[in-house]
Structure 1
């Protein structure tokens, strides 16, 4: 009986080491990290890694799940014009993603049918609707801007973040995107 408990405790410890090593590797290097490198960094064999996470996607979801949840809580700040709110929202979202290359790779490379991307788009459209509604009063967005336009602008900026790793250059890209949305 003691032997069985030790195995479960060891298995739990292995899983935690795998998650820690994967989180560090994916955050710094994105989704291109080799699974053998994750296993090695965790001090386990590749078979142990795959016992806990049968596919790369399972491990990626375990690592990025809390970041997807945090991104889904982001919203327009209150009390500012729509265009300024979008600047804060876009900049904040990209700053969150800066800390996690895997999230950038995941959002930039996801298929339109991917459930995580669909949930992300739904949230971005909600933020977009809020900005469009706010702009009905402050008139800071072009009259033809839609919630979808705003959602896809941020996804475009995520792709830029994947290609241009310098955060300073991204601020310029945010400015360019906002000029396209501005009245």
Structure 2
């Protein structure tokens, strides 16, 4: 049995550059941006782009999958900080804020994914994120800081309804207003 050969370093770099450029180009120009423009922004030939991603749907799905993986990594890092002694409510709140800020730039990519009918891809990253967020919630509940009825689905609902089209000051205000709904504490006065 032959083992699959690891991709060449330049191929890995090209793929990463293509994914970054695709996210930036879709964000800047919308879901109709052409593959030629994405290739140019990545500094690769269009043939290189198509070798990695035969269709735009494949490319957009990969960009969305990379976003989901970053969210899962962030959730697991937050959980690791809680395990090391950080307060679960603080980490959950900070995680929520980071995901909302990341969603501001990835909003156009998500719109493109919906328009093309793509799925995020690897469900393992979604599962990783969900498990880490669930553990953050359980720890916060055990600490007496998070309402006992808060679920992972509640956090996802907050992500989906966040004012990502608003200015940073409005997003920060939104977070200040919604966090008390997750907690057992009264809202701090402004």
Fold agreement, TM-score > 0.5:
yes
**CA RMSD across the alignment:** 3.9
Measured against aligned partners, the alpha-carbon deviations of 1:58-116 in whole angstroms (never above 9, x if no partner) come to 12234454433222101234234333221111112233344544455468x499x9353
TM superposition shift of 1:119: 4.5
Cα 1:123/1:66, change in 2 over 3 Å: same
Structure 1 unmatched ranges of 5 or more: 1-11
**Is the Cα–Cα contact under 8 Å of residues 97 and 103 in structure 1 kept in the other structure?**
no
1:132 Cα deviation (Å)? 2.6
- Checking the alignment, whether the CA contact within 8 Å between 2:69 and 2:125 is kept in structure 1 is no
**Cα distance, 1:131 vs structure 2:** 2.4
Q: Which residue number in structure 1 is paired with residue 160 of structure 2?
A: 155
Cα distance change of structure 1 residues 50 and 117 upon mapping to structure 2, 3 Å threshold:
closer
Equivalent residue for 1:129, pick from 127, 134, 139: 134
User: Matched residue pairs, number?
Assistant: 163
Contact 2:71–2:129 (CA<8 Å) still a contact in 1? no
1:72 pairs with 2:72: yes
In the alignment, structure 2 segments of 5+ residues that lack a partner are: 1-10, 185-190
Aligned 1:25-40 pairs, distance under 5 A: 25-35=25-35, 37-38=37-38
Tell me the equivalent position of 1:4.
none
Distance change >3 Å, CA 150–CA 21, structure 1 → 2: closer
Whole-Å separation in 1 of the counterparts to 2:135 and 2:115:
25
Q: What aligned pairs does 1:1-183 form with structure 2 within 5 A after superposition?
A: 19=18, 21-35=21-35, 37-38=37-38, 53-75=53-75, 76=78, 77-78=81-82, 79-105=85-111, 109=114, 114-116=119-121, 118-119=123-124, 121-157=126-162, 160-161=163-164, 164-183=165-184
